[in-house]
Amino acid sequence: MRDRRWSTLRSYGPVLRSGPMAQYVALLRGINVGGKNLIKMEELRACLEAQGLGDVATYIASGNVLFSAPGARAELGRRIEALLSERFRYKSSLVLRTLKEMRDTVENAPDGFGAAPATYRYDVIFLKSPLTAAAALKSVPTRPGVDEARAGAGVLYFSRLTSKAEQSMLPRLVSLPIYQNMTIRNWNTTTKLFEMMRARES
């Protein structure tokens, strides 16, 4: 069984090795959370490197993987999801972003977003296509006087008062069907990933 499984995984390699390379970050959903879907980062890196992804690096254990690869993004995302689902025995879902898209997310954030970390907690909700920011904004719950959600390109910018964080509606988002088409990173992680991608590009 093990040999057949790895034989199947290796079949992804030729697809990932053809064509010009582009830089991506994969934001994995639902790993290493609450004792579920436990994946060691060194095993994750090794799995992706074995399939031809280049310059694979991870950032913290919440499922942030930087790499370079060829091919159309949508097809690449589907293939990586299938690969991880088979290798690690869980239903993989991820949001894929290019360097340009991460630059847009950071540099086009709403005015003042991230500027008062002592007063607000800041999160970026990354949306998985075909979910749009306009559609997501209608479904993501907020509490007046505590939360604020604003739309961006493929993301929602979510801020909540630290002093009233226990009243925030953000934790309830994970129980909604729409949550299956998004993943959340705090602002510090988002900006750090962009800085790492920019450094690798240069």
30 sits in the region (left: phi over 0; alpha: psi -120 to 50; else beta) called: left
Residues lower than pLDDT 70 in the chain: 1-19
Neighbour count for residue 154 (Cβ, 10 Å): 20
- Residue pLDDT, tens place only, 16-48: 545 678 899 999 998 877 777 889 999 999 999
The C-alpha atoms of residue 136 and residue 175 are separated, in whole angstroms, by 14
What is the per-residue pLDDT for 48? 94
2-99 sits in which CATH class? Answer: alpha beta
The β-bridge partners of 69 are: 22
What is the per-residue pLDDT for 19? 65
109-201 sits in which CATH class? Answer: alpha beta
Sheet holding 155-161, edge to edge: 147-151, 155-161, 120-127, 182-186
Fold matches, 2-99 and 109-201: yes
- Token pair of 182 as six digits: 């998004």
Q: What are the boundaries of each domain within the chain?
A: 2-99, 109-201
First to last CA, the chain: 43
pTM: 0.89
- Stated as kind and residue range, the H or E segment containing 187 is helix 187-201
Which one, of 41, 130, 45, lies nearest residue 80 by Cα? 45
Q: Could you tell me which residues come within 8 angstroms of residue 189 by beta carbon, excluding any fewer than 6 positions away?
A: 59, 60, 62, 64
What is the per-residue pLDDT for 18? 57
What is the per-residue pLDDT for 8? 38
The C-alpha atoms of residue 138 and residue 130 are separated, in whole angstroms, by 15
What is the per-residue pLDDT for 20? 73
One-letter amino acid at 127 equals L
